[in-house]
Amino acid sequence: SISDCPIVTDGVYFIIKLSLLSLFAIFAFATCGGYTGQLRVSVDCMEKASSNLSIGIDFAYPFRLHQVSFEAPLCEGMRRERVALIGDYSSSAEFFVTIAVFAFLYSLMATIVYIFFQNKYRENNRGPLIDFIVTVVFSFMWLVSSSAWAKALSDVKVATDPDEVQLLISACKIQTNKCGSVHGPRWSGLNTSVVFGFLNFVLWAGNIWFVFKETGWHKGAARYPGGAPEKQAGTFNQQPYNQGSFDQSGGYSAQGDLGQPSEYSQVGGPTSYSNQM
């Protein structure tokens, strides 16, 4: 049955894992990169005619708040002033989204390589080795970028708090005018992005162990405890392994064309085993 074959269960597990990583990366960058928010304040001047009771202020990813400006009444006739928010959180936000996008692209690429270039992936253990290094790097990057983004988000929340924004409006500094907050921005989307950032860190960090097992280093270290394990393992693996895989694929096609299974049962361990099945 299918579950008896390690390659198939490994493959299914591998692809489910990569799909999960891709999906969580998409959630992380979509919730952050797709965000738009609005807050609304009111400026109620003593001379009612110049009041504006509904000043909407829109902002979005990448949170260059110093570039977000709005018009507020000065409460002196019809004169108005242009007020800008404070702060630039684009570096943290863009860093987070960039890591998420690259994590997604890597998961996608790894899936394609795994499905279509299985032989290349296994060749000289190159695939698992690269996968291990990239996974460690991405885990670290997820942790750093999620932390940076979480900090930036808490600052963005302060900078776009309607009560804080009122302090920037000149008219609000005069006691006789009344300023108020109509509504603040919704944060659920951005809170979700931070949660997904740390969730991605946990997933990738947990994945380090599974990728480490794929490299076979834990077995290699046990087999060659004294000397240089990598060099020995390399010279030992390189030629017989490659030949084995070539024989195997050759054996399969020849077997289909000619139907001589007895000849191929002599070739090697794994091949003869699969032919007996």
Ligand X SMILES: *[C@@H]1O[C@H](CO)[C@@H](O)[C@H](O)[C@H]1NC(C)=O
CB of 209 to ligand X, least distance (A): 53
Minimum distance from CB of 54 to ligand X (Å)? Answer: 6
73 or 127, CB closer to ligand X? 73
Site string for ligand X, 32-61 (x = CB under 6 A): --------------------x--xx-----
3-state secondary structure of 212: helix
Closest CB 34 distance from ligand X, rounded Å:
23
Compute the least distance from the CB of residue 55 to ligand X, in Å: 4
71-110 residues in contact with ligand X (CB under 6 A) are: 71
Q: By C-beta, is 52 or 255 nearer to ligand X?
A: 52
Q: Which residue has the tokens 């060749």?
A: 123
Q: What is the dihedral of CA 125, 126, 129, 135, to 10 degrees?
A: -130
The smaller minimum CB distance to ligand X, of residues 78 and 277, is found at 78
Asked if 43 contacts 73 with a C-beta cutoff of 8 angstroms, the reply is yes
Nearer to ligand X, 70 or 114 (CB): 70
Minimum separation from the CB atom of position 203 to ligand X (A): 42
In three-state secondary structure terms, 81 is: strand
Tokens of 174: 């005069």
CA distance 69 to 212: 50
Smallest distance from ligand X to CB 177, Å: 15
CA angle 138, 230, 15 (to 5 degrees): 40
Q: Per CB under 6 A, which of residues 243..272 are in contact with ligand X?
A: none
CB-based burial label for 227 (10 Å; 0-12, 13-18, 19+): exposed
Judged by beta carbon, residue 52 or residue 245, the one nearer ligand X is 52
Q: Which residue is nearest to ligand X (CB)?
A: 52
- Residues that bind ligand X (rule: CB under 6 A) add up to a total of 5
User: Between residues 56 and 270, which has the closer beta carbon with respect to ligand X?
Assistant: 56
> Least distance (Å) from ligand X to the CB of residue 164?
17
The DSSP H or E segment spanning 220 is helix 217-223
The single-letter DSSP state of residue 127 is: H
SS3 (DSSP) at 99:
helix
Q: Which of 54, 206, 191, 213 lies closest to 128, judged by CA?
A: 213
Considering the complex, state which of residue 56 and residue 206 has its C-beta at the smaller distance from ligand X. Answer: 56
SS (H, E, C) 136-203: HHHHHHHHHHHHHHHHHHHHHHHHCCHHHHHCCCHHHHCCCCEEEEEECCCCHHHHHHHHHHHHHHHH
CB of 181 to ligand X, least distance (A): 14
Nearer to ligand X, 25 or 165 (CB): 165
Chain residues binding ligand X by CB under 6 A are: 52, 55-56, 70-71
